[in-house]
Amino acid sequence: MSISHRTNRLKLVGTPSVEKLQNGRYKLVVTCSTMNSREDWYSANKARIFPDFGSLQSAEMSIDGLAPRTGEAYADMRLTQVESGNRSARDGGDYLVALTYETLGSSFIQVKDDNTDYELNGLRRVTRTSIAEAGTDYAKTVGTSYIDHQIDAETAVRCFLASYGIDDTDSFRQVEEVYVEAGTLNVQRVSESDGVYRVTTTFLGVEGTVVGPIIAKTEGDFEGLKTITVVSMQDASGASLITGTQPVASHSILNEFTYPGVVTISSESLAGTGGTYTFKAKDFSLMPPVSSRVPATIKVSFKTSGTIGYTAGSGLWNPNTWAEGLSKGIAWNYLPFSIARGFRGYRIDGSEGAVNSYSAYGIPGTGNVFDMISGKRIFGNTTYKIAVSGGPANPEGGTYTLDYSVSLAFEDTSGVPYYKHTEIVATIPPR
């Protein structure tokens, strides 16, 4: 075994100590005495007895250099620390130099096990410290470089590089890296209106999937890793506001409804003077319209179409025709007449009286019964007509849409429009 270390000016004192580090690395401490212990000599010869930081354990010194014997040198052992001082007189009084070497190769090796925590909404965060010889190139990129981190027999978790720090010395380059698992960092759910929720989801590293149309998207940074914040629209159950159950909201109200008036043909017997004759009087009988509040339901839906679509079984209550009446004939003294009337706001009711009447009455000698329509006595043995027609159906018992509106609610990030549909539906109770 050699009695000197790298130069004849450094004599070994004892046996070098060796410590095995993680991942096949070693730490070697070599203690040497100098050839001259005088302080003035030491001061003048520092460069001759102190090797350069980062130099190999096996490298010869420039002055009086010695090559190690075969098998004595560890691979990639580089100088990381130098300590010097005088021994006590009891121990010989020599001037000692302690040289510390560590395994430092041309690629980064972990110096210890990873530190792992789950403080980011349950996402895995890994802190890793690695070391290599001075000047080793570090080529990883924040946001794209990753590790597949595995603890024991678990399925590996992919974590992306969020940040790193480099500590450079003359001996080594040490890197501390922080890797973070991609996933959901935060979810915020805010009620916009009945049945409508704005959901803001922040993803770390990689954008995930959200439910509902996306109306906004932004990117940011968290601990060095890209964040993607996505805003989507959902219903109360968490389904898409568009493709989920429709309507997304409904509630009861009292809504004003105008019952149409009812026009019928009345028939009434009128006794003449002294009871010698009777008039059969027929005319238009009117029950006027009336406005009332009826129980109704407001339904709110969201669709990609802006086209109105009624859900009520009877369709839209929107009368576009009203009842009309006609009476005509030959009055007394052969005076013809024809009266046409429109009954705005009215429907007909065929269950009360004759809806269409066409008859001949009042023939002399047949019981002294005379016909009178619309206040006009019909000449005997002539024909007449009194009739009502048209108008809407009887709404009572039917389920109708009373109102419907469509408005642009929002657009997604691609510019696709989405519409809010508001419908008022009521089953009309009996008048």
User: Which pLDDT tens digit goes with each residue over 121-145?
Assistant: 899 999 999 999 999 999 999 888 9
Give 277-309 pLDDT, tens digit per residue. Answer: 666 778 898 999 999 999 999 999 999 999 999
pLDDT of 199: 97
269 vs 147 pLDDT, higher one: 147
pLDDT of 272: 60
Pseudo-torsion of CA 307, 312, 318, 322, nearest 10°? 140
d(C-alpha 291, C-alpha 400), whole Å: 16
pLDDT of 359: 53
Indicate the burial class of 140 (C-beta count within 10 angstroms; 0-12, 13-18, 19 or more): middle
Tokens at 183, concatenated = 């996933």
What value does the mean pLDDT take over residues 154-175? 94
Q: What is the pTM of this model?
A: 0.69
d(C-alpha 332, C-alpha 6), whole Å: 149
pLDDT of 201: 97
Work out the angle at residue 263's Cα, subtended by the Cα atoms of residues 360 and 285, and round it to the nearest 5 degrees. Answer: 60
Query: 56: which DSSP letter?
Result: B
- Beta strands 290-303 and 369-373 are unpaired
Q: Which of 39-43, 147-151, 215-219, 366-370 has the lowest mean pLDDT?
A: 366-370
Give 399-417 pLDDT, tens digit per residue. Answer: 999 999 999 999 999 999 9
Q: Which residues contact 218 (CB under 8 A, 6 or more apart)?
A: 228, 229
d(C-alpha 145, C-alpha 164), whole Å: 11
345 vs 4 pLDDT, higher one: 345
Q: Is the pLDDT of residue 1 over 60?
A: no
The mean pLDDT of the chain is 88
d(C-alpha 233, C-alpha 417), whole Å: 13
Q: Which of 102-106, 273-277, 324-328, 361-365 has the lowest mean pLDDT?
A: 361-365
Query: 391: which DSSP letter?
Result: -
Name the residue with tokens 């389904």. 239
pLDDT of 364: 47
Q: Which of 47-56, 96-105, 171-180, 255-264 has the lowest mean pLDDT?
A: 47-56
pLDDT of 144: 87
Q: Is the pLDDT of residue 366 over 90?
A: no
Contact (Cβ atoms closer than 8 angstroms) between residue 272 and residue 372: no
In sequence order, the β-bridge partners of residue 269 are 280
Give 29-70 pLDDT, tens digit per residue. Answer: 999 888 776 766 777 777 777 888 999 988 888 767 777 666
B/e letters for 348-377, b = 16+ CB within 10 Å, e = fewer, are bbeeebbbebeeebbeeeeeeebbbbbebb
3-state secondary structure of 232: strand
CATH fit for domain 4-103, picks 2.60.120, 2.60.40, 1.10.1740, 1.10.3470: 2.60.40
Q: Which of 81-95, 173-187, 251-265, 334-348 has the lowest mean pLDDT?
A: 81-95
Q: Is the pLDDT of residue 3 over 50?
A: yes
Q: Is the pLDDT of residue 117 over 90?
A: yes
pLDDT of 307: 95
Confidence of residue 241 (pLDDT cuts 50, 70, 90): very high
To the nearest whole percent, how much of the chain has pLDDT over 70? 88
User: Does 247 sit behind a cis peptide bond, omega within 30 degrees of 0 on the bond before it?
Assistant: yes
Give 183-217 pLDDT, tens digit per residue. Answer: 999 999 999 988 999 999 999 988 999 999 999 99
In sequence order, the β-bridge partners of residue 89 are none
Query: What is the helix (H) or strand (E) element at residue 32, kind and residue range?
Result: strand 26-34
Q: Which of 4-8, 252-256, 322-326, 369-373 has the lowest mean pLDDT?
A: 369-373
pLDDT of 362: 46
Chain centroid to CA 389: 57
d(C-alpha 197, C-alpha 227), whole Å: 22
d(C-alpha 372, C-alpha 352), whole Å: 19
104 vs 280 pLDDT, higher one: 104
Rounded alpha-carbon distances, angstroms, from residue 162 to 142, 148, 155, 173, 202: 5, 14, 21, 19, 16
65 vs 109 pLDDT, higher one: 109
